[in-house]
């Protein structure tokens, strides 16, 4: 047969050792059918020896591409060039290169060519530097799974979360090294992640939220007032509030509208709804010397750095416990929306990529919430049944 897309798609699975199908128009070019895949090969003779090299698997390699590769190998063989020897030399060169490159050199290359393109660079840079303090002088190829696991276990003293994040970033860097041919296998691949504690589930109680809102309604500092209002009533992240600009808000005179977040955690611009009571606070926030930021820093052209002191004062005025963190406002918002409109609506407003994140971290429902959902569902079923019965 002639090896084409049509003919190989009609081939039946072969034996474990493979069933060979020779191309009748190009001597030496053939395809082998295995139980679960098809592979292309070419057989040639050079310096009196007959050799065979692989050309790729279908469909990653198409028949026409394999045919061109076979013609190239056969043409080179006619000129005395041995494809198998060329490939062996390339493998040996890659092995020599991998043994020569140190972890320090690889870390520098990885940061420059890969991490520099990421939106968030500080964490991978920091975690790779932690590994570099231990491995920088060692060849990259000599770092073993035992080395990775030993370092991970040392980091357990700082917490399982940090140990797992370090492992994730270091595994990603090794994966990239494998793709570039510096190492043959990822030494972090067989090192398991540690079991982490349950995610934080602290939310404001109804009384705590009421006290916080009463205090915030009369808060004198307009910048702190708008910042905490956005955190409570939009579920925004602190970093998003700190970088918010007046131009990002498209509000009607009554305050209703949208807030466009140019560069959120996902890296893609997103827009979230702003209710009139929240928009009114945004509109009332003054501009200092024409500065662009909604919450300016000491210099109007630079955003504020944090709200550590402000949050401490606000907690004290609202009589909130020391166990209440600023990020708990976002979690409380997620739970509030979930109770009112369901997990899907909460996930969309929190701008999560998956409802799984919302469910496990930001909407800690209890048995009472679930009973409420069940009761509402049952009432809806009974009401629908009665309407259907009366319609008869």
The secondary element (H helix, E strand) that includes residue 176 is helix 160-179
Between strands 29-33 and 38-46, the pairing is antiparallel
pLDDT band for 319, please (50, 70, 90 cuts): very high
Query: pLDDT (tens digit, 9 = 90+) per residue, 105-121?
Result: 999 999 999 888 877 78
Q: What is the DSSP letter of 79?
A: T
Q: State the alpha helices, DSSP H only, in 308-358.
A: 308-318, 328-341, 343-350, 355-357
CB burial readout 309-342, b (16+ within 10 A) else e: ebbeebbeebebeeebebebbbbbbbbbbbbeee
pLDDT band for 381, please (50, 70, 90 cuts): low
Q: Is 130 helix (H, G, I), strand (E, B) or coil?
A: helix
Distance (Å, whole) CA 41 – CA 28: 8
Distance (Å, whole) CA 55 – CA 40: 5
pTM for the structure as a whole? 0.53
pLDDT band for 368, please (50, 70, 90 cuts): low
Angstrom distances, CA of residue 58 to CA of 17, 44, 388: 17, 21, 58
Are 319 and 212 a contacting pair, CB within 8 Å?
no
Phi, psi of 35, deg, nearest 5: -55, -30
234 burial via Cβ count (<10 Å: 0-12, 13-18, 19+): buried
Please tell me the predicted confidence (pLDDT) of residue 385. 62
Please tell me the predicted confidence (pLDDT) of residue 98. 56
Q: Is 242 helix (H, G, I), strand (E, B) or coil?
A: helix
Distance (Å, whole) CA 123 – CA 128: 8
Mean pLDDT of 352-363: 71
Q: What is the DSSP letter of 201?
A: -
Task: Decide if pLDDT at 163 tops 80.
Answer: yes
Distance (Å, whole) CA 126 – CA 47: 55
Please tell me the predicted confidence (pLDDT) of residue 91. 80
Query: pLDDT (tens digit, 9 = 90+) per residue, 205-224?
Result: 999 999 999 999 999 999 99
Hey, which residues does 245 pair with through a beta bridge? 293
Angular region, 42: left φ>0, alpha ψ -120 to 50, beta rest: beta
Q: Which is more confidently placed, 379 or 268?
A: 268
Please tell me the predicted confidence (pLDDT) of residue 370. 46
Distance (Å, whole) CA 138 – CA 165: 23
Q: Is 269 helix (H, G, I), strand (E, B) or coil?
A: coil
Are 98 and 41 a contacting pair, CB within 8 Å?
no
168 burial via Cβ count (<10 Å: 0-12, 13-18, 19+): middle
Please tell me the predicted confidence (pLDDT) of residue 314. 94
pLDDT band for 382, please (50, 70, 90 cuts): low
Query: pLDDT (tens digit, 9 = 90+) per residue, 233-291?
Result: 998 999 899 999 999 999 999 999 999 988 766 567 888 999 999 999 999 999 887 78
Angular region, 207: left φ>0, alpha ψ -120 to 50, beta rest: alpha
């Amino acid at each position: 047969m002639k090896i084409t897309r049509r003919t190989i798609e009609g081939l039946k699975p072969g034996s474990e050792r493979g069933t060979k199908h020779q191309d009748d128009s190009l001597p030496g070019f053939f395809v082998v059918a295995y139980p679960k895949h098809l592979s292309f090969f070419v057989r040639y003779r050079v310096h009196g020896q007959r050799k065979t090299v692989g050309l790729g698997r279908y469909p990653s390699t198409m028949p026409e591409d394999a045919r061109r590769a076979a013609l190239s190998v056969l043409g080179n063989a006619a000129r005395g060039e041995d494809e198998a020897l060329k490939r062996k030399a390339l493998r040996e060169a890659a092995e020599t290169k991998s043994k020569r490159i140190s972890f320090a050199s690889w870390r520098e290359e990885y940061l420059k060519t890969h991490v520099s393109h990421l939106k968030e660079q500080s964490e991978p840079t920091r975690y790779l530097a932690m590994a570099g303090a231990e491995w920088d002088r060692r060849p990259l190829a000599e770092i073993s799974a035992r080395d990775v696991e030993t370092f991970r276990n040392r980091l357990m003293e700082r917490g399982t979360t940090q140990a797992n994040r370090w492992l994730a970033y270091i595994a990603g860097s090794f994966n990239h090294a494998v793709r570039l041919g510096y190492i043959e296998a990822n030494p972090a691949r067989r090192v398991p992640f540690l079991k982490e504690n349950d995610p934080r589930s602290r939310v404001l109680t109804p009384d705590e939220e009421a006290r916080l809102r009463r205090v915030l309604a009369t808060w004198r500092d307009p910048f702190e007032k708008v910042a905490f209002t956005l955190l409570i009533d939009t579920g925004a992240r602190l970093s998003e509030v700190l970088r918010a600009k007046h131009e990002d808000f498209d509000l009607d005179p009554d305050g209703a509208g949208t807030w466009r977040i140019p560069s959120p955690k996902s890296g893609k611009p997103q827009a979230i709804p702003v209710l009139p009571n929240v928009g009114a606070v945004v509109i009332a926030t003054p501009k200092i010397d024409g500065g662009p930021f909604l919450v300016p820093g000491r210099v109007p052209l630079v955003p504020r750095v944090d709200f550590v002191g402000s949050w401490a004062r606000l907690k004290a005025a609202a009589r909130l416990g020391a166990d209440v963190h600023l990020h708990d406002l976002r979690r409380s918002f997620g739970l509030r929306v979930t109770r009112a409109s369901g997990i899907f609506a909460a996930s969309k407003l929190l701008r999560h990529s998956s409802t799984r994140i919302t469910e496990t971290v930001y909407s800690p429902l209890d048995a009472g919430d679930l009973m409420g959902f069940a009761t509402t569902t049952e009432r809806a079923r009974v009401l629908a049944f009665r309407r259907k019965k009366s319609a008869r």
